[in-house]
């Protein structure tokens, strides 16, 4: 379980395909590898992956995860190569501050960033640049996106500003642009998306009742 509050930007050090559709990823991190237990869950660009190895060498701390065939098919993980930068979040602990919203790390699909509009700092907004991002989601997911609702995109908990058919927009503040991978994102990028868990269950309940 996660909150969508990114705490590190990791970098893929190695990506190796294995038999039976597995891909081993070695990820450089600022997390102290001595504090990462084998079997721990870490959200990698919003995808919950299990740690299978950790270490520290001349390049710094790192951990390794295995991505299975379904993960590779439904997320952007299959496209990651050495040098790819990804948002990281360690699993929520009982008693931690819930700063974002409940995020499971179970990605629902891949959205596409279709527009980015940057607003530089000026006299009216001296705290720094902001940016508006617009995404297009798969048709099956558009019903779960609501104005003022929560959504996790590449593991970042964000509030939906506008919705129009299969597109929605969010506004990112300077801090978010600085401490996540969003500062470098451009139109055309593929993005992992997880819809709000409550919306998903509400829809399932409606279906079960024939609504």
Residue 159 annotated as catalytic: yes
Annotated catalytic residue, options 7, 11, 33, 50: 50
Does 17 qualify as catalytic in the annotation? no
Spot the catalytic one: 11, 33, 40, 68.
Answer: 68
Annotated catalytic residue, options 3, 29, 41, 47: 41
Alpha carbons 4 and 182: distance in angstroms, whole number: 13
Task: Determine which one of 7, 91, 106, 129 is catalytic.
Answer: 106
Say how far apart CA 69 and CA 184 lie, in whole Å. Answer: 28
Q: Known catalytic residue: 44?
A: no
**Does the active-site annotation cover 68?**
yes
202 is catalytic: no
Task: Identify whether 54 is a catalytic site residue.
Answer: no
Q: Would you call 112 a catalytic residue per the annotation?
A: no
Ordered DSSP codes for 113-173: EEEEEEE--BTTBTT--EEEEEEE--GGGGGG--TT-EEEETTEEEE--EEETTEEEEEE-
Q: Which of 45, 48, 67, 131 is catalytic?
A: 48
Catalytic residue among 16, 79, 159, 162: 159
Which three-class secondary structure state does DSSP give residue 62?
strand
**Chain length of the chain:** 211
Active-site amino acid positions: 2, 41, 48, 50, 68, 106, 159
């Amino acid at each position: 379980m996660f909150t969508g509050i990114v705490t590190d930007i990791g970098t893929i050090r190695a990506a190796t395909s294995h038999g039976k559709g597995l891909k081993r990823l070695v990820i450089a991190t600022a997390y102290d590898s001595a504090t990462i237990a084998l079997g721990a869950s870490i959200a990698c660009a919003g995808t919950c992956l299990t740690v299978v190895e950790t270490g520290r060498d001349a390049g710094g701390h790192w951990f390794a995860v295995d991505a299975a065939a379904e993960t590779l098919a439904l997320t952007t993980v299959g496209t990651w190569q050495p040098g790819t930068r990804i948002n990281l979040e360690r699993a929520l602990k009982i008693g931690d501050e819930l700063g974002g919203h409940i995020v499971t790390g179970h990605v629902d699909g891949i959205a596409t960033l279709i527009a980015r509009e940057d607003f530089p700092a000026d006299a009216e907004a001296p705290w720094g640049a902001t940016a508006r991002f617009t995404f297009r989601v798969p048709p099956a997911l558009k019903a779960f996106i609501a104005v003022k609702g929560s959504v996790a995109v590449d593991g970042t908990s964000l509030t939906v500003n506008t919705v129009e058919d299969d597109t929605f927009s969010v506004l990112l503040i300077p801090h978010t642009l600085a401490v996540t991978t969003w500062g470098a994102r451009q139109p055309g990028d593929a993005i992992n998306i997880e819809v709000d868990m409550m919306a998903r269950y509400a829809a399932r309940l409606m279906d079960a009742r024939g609504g």
